Amino acid sequence: MNTSATTRVAVLPFMMLLLTAMIAVPASAQSGMTELGDDFIFFFDGPNVLIPEASAPIVLDPLDPTSGNRVHKYDYGNWSENGYRFSKSEGIDMSQNVGMSAGEGDTLYMKLLVDPANAGQPGVWITMFDKTDDSPANDGTADLQSRLNWTIPEAMRNGQWHDLAIPLPPTTVAGLDSAKVGKDINGNALATPLDDNAAQWTYGGAWSVGGFGVWGPGECNGDACFEEFQWDGVYSLTVFFDNNTGGGPIYLDDVYIGGPNTDVSVATQGPIAMSGASFAANGDVNTISWTPNPDFGGYNVYASESPITSQDILAGSVSLIGSKSFNDTEFSIDHQVELPHVSLAGDPFYYAVTSKSLFGVENTFVGGSSGEVANPNLPEAPFIRVLTEAQSTTIFDNVASGTISDDGFPGNAPFMITPDHWTSGDAPAPTGDGAAADISAMAKVAIDEFGFLYVYAEVTDDVAGFPGANADGAGTWNFDSFEIFFGNYDVREVPGGGLLNRSPNGQYGRGNTADFQIRMAVEADEAGNVLGIGIWSHADPAGATGSTASGPVQGAGGAAEKTATGYRFLVAIPLESVLDPTTDQPLAVPASDALKVIPFNLALGDRDAGGGREAQVNWTLFGGPGAWNNPSTWQPVAIAGTAVTATDIEEANSALPYEFALEQNYPNPFNPSTNIEFSIPNASDVRLDVYNVLGQRVATLVNGRTMPAGTHAVTFDASQLTSGMYIYRLQAGGEFTQTRTMMLLK
């Protein structure tokens, strides 16, 4: 925080009568205070630990990086919004912060720096959203997510810091409209004209099937869907780029809502350094754990491919994998890492834990709280093979003839978009026992040296919601659809990228770090008969940075059909057709004996009975709302040359087992480690646990993840256990269970 900010005033994130107690009482004594209270501090040198989500990277002040001042950076993305979020279904009560007429509420304070690339762009806002039930209904029964927009004035889009005090608007549309013509809600003249900053507020309606401003004409039956902004259920305060015409980053600092009577110096004081943390391999995850300090407000946990220093954290060159607040019930984080290829296994990953104050001020010294883990049981993600000429010819011929088949695809594991390997997209993921039957998929992806990308997919979908013939690609997001996202670069070879940091691009890139989105949607007539498959590029070939204008992929072809459980398709896509030829480098396949690790994602959209898309899921483990538009959330996936040594998965697939089986461990007896081998005849959810003779679970080696058909082996390290007999149990496929015993002798 800049020195001048310490003299500014704000309200603390708890009721004012608790202020004295907060300063004097350690964080552990505040565990019952789960609400933020009457007024709100969002961010000073870090986000308030009681805000569930603060979705933006923390970076050094771009105008003065040597100052050490840390700010939130919001990268441009088409129609993207990120910021401070609460419960989407409940929100948080801010009704005490606003009034019926202008001047009766509190003030939103912030420092704002807007990149000049946003000059002249429409829809560049600070936006507040209210809560929603995520219902797609357009008959007035849904709790739609309304928005309140503060338009960033053109004069502030100049790359300089602006210190702002923005009075919150009246609580209703009518109250704000009256204030803009100089009157209060009762029609009386305002004693003080509306503040210039306050005049930038607009109640912007809600997104629904009918679109924006749902109380106007449209599919939402006019006023039937109107609802006032719900100040008693505010979901978020965000930076919103509501356009697809380009832009640049926006930076925020010292963000809070309140009045003019509280010294914020308490919000700038940092804690002592963190000490004492443990780092261990735990089956197929790495576990970082620590004992909480009652004087800390929270903790950050970082990961890297090299030892972590305070300078790395300040520079943002390491990956933040999780945060905990003082009132969490568990002080450990399981880091789930999927290696892009088995040949990358064996090297350790490095971890560090930092301390934070209640207001998010972080002490980045990690000399006493860092370590490393080398885990031989980390899982391997599926990867993309470079095809041989014979394989490529087989697939291309099938595409040309309309034959929907996976003939020609290599035997490595497919991509499984299933509940154990998905994250919600811009619509919620299905939940419950029937989630996979509602929407899920198996996909095989390959590439050849001639510049073609091939996708074969079997989609499980209980109700078809296909667009019509000759559909407009821009609208197909609202139907059943399958999307593929990829970059043309190796994440390990670009500044700020890596296996853990992923892509450094917070929006679609161009040039030698270009990113692409391609959407496929089955087309059908009104009776549901499949007519074909549409293939569209959503990274504009015209070359506008970040643009997602739709256009058919020229030269692409494929075929689709319904199945008893959903649909399947096969497509071939010439990659040159999605390039901007003036800037983009083509996706160069690796040499026959090499790997290339690219940012990659798949997404499924689901529309059932009409009314719009009801669900969307990402394959990547790092996705979420806006992942389609943010390559930094895509997962690193390997492209393997034709001569790269076969992995254990490919070798297993060359002679698939006929039945489930759990083998005797070897060696047995053992000290301190042993190998456990098991076989599964088809892709299955697998869990492998170890118990002592009292029936207490002492280790989980495979934690319910989907594994491909084949024979698999994991290593059990019992160095922390005492001698004796142990029991290991395999559960697979929902029905198979087998148990064996083993002996540890030390």
Over the stretch 14-45, which tens digit does the pLDDT of each residue have?
322 223 223 333 333 333 223 444 678 899 88
Asked if pLDDT for residue 5 goes beyond 50, the answer is no
The residue among 563, 586, 588 whose CA lies nearest residue 576 is 586
Chain-centroid distance, C-alpha 452: 28
In tens, the pLDDT along 375-421 reads 988 988 999 999 999 999 999 999 999 999 999 999 888 999 999 89
Q: How far apart are CA 148 and CA 234, in angstroms?
A: 10
Percentage of the chain lying above the pLDDT 70 cut? 87
In tens, the pLDDT along 124-138 reads 999 999 999 877 676
Residue 564 — φ and ψ, nearest 5°? -65, -25
In tens, the pLDDT along 183-242 reads 998 899 988 888 999 999 999 887 654 444 444 334 455 556 678 899 999 999 999 999
- Which residues touch 564 (CB under 8 Å, ≥6 apart)? none
Under 8 Å between Cβ of 260 and 141 = no
Q: How far apart are CA 348 and CA 345, in angstroms?
A: 9
Asked if pLDDT for residue 651 goes beyond 70, the answer is no
Asked if pLDDT for residue 331 goes beyond 70, the answer is yes
Asked if pLDDT for residue 13 goes beyond 50, the answer is no
Question: Sorting pLDDT into bands at 50, 70 and 90, what band is 613?
Answer: confident
Q: In the prediction, which pLDDT does 220 show?
A: 54
- Which residues touch 464 (CB under 8 Å, ≥6 apart)? 480, 522, 524, 528, 562, 566, 567
Q: In the prediction, which pLDDT does 78 show?
A: 80
Give the residue-averaged pLDDT of 665-670: 92
Dihedral of the CA atoms 81, 82, 83, 86 (nearest 10)? 90
Asked if pLDDT for residue 2 goes beyond 50, the answer is no
Q: In the prediction, which pLDDT does 22 show?
A: 33
Give the residue-averaged pLDDT of 668-685: 88
Q: In the prediction, which pLDDT does 476 show?
A: 85
Give me the residue label for tokens 């690219």. Answer: 598
Interstrand relation of 697-707 and 710-717 (parallel, antiparallel or unpaired): unpaired
Question: Sorting pLDDT into bands at 50, 70 and 90, what band is 12?
Answer: very low
Q: Provide the β-strand partners of residue 279.
A: 288
Give the residue-averaged pLDDT of 669-683: 89
Q: How far apart are CA 705 and CA 381, in angstroms?
A: 11
Give me the residue label for tokens 């600092």. Answer: 253
Question: Greater confidence, 487 or 548?
Answer: 487
Question: Sorting pLDDT into bands at 50, 70 and 90, what band is 510?
Answer: confident
- Which residues touch 597 (CB under 8 Å, ≥6 apart)? 340, 341, 490, 491, 492, 499, 636, 637, 638, 639
Give me the residue label for tokens 């014979």. Answer: 390
In this prediction the pTM is 0.74
Asked if pLDDT for residue 168 goes beyond 70, the answer is yes
Give the residue-averaged pLDDT of 519-540: 84
Q: In the prediction, which pLDDT does 459 show?
A: 94
Give me the sign of the Cα torsion angle 519, 522, 524, 527: negative
Q: In the prediction, which pLDDT does 550 show?
A: 56
Lowest mean pLDDT among 290-299, 643-652, 716-725: 643-652
What domains, with CATH codes, occur in the chain? 3-268 (2.60.120.430), 277-373 (2.60.40.10), 384-640 (2.60.40.1190), 655-744 (2.60.40.2550)
- Which residues touch 29 (CB under 8 Å, ≥6 apart)? 294
- Which residues touch 621 (CB under 8 Å, ≥6 apart)? 336, 338, 421, 423, 635
Q: In the prediction, which pLDDT does 14 show?
A: 31
In tens, the pLDDT along 601-610 reads 999 999 987 6
Lowest mean pLDDT among 106-115, 401-410, 501-510: 501-510
| 729-to-384, 582, 664, 671, 693 alpha-carbon distances in Å | 32, 57, 11, 20, 13
452's enclosing H/E stretch is: strand 452-461
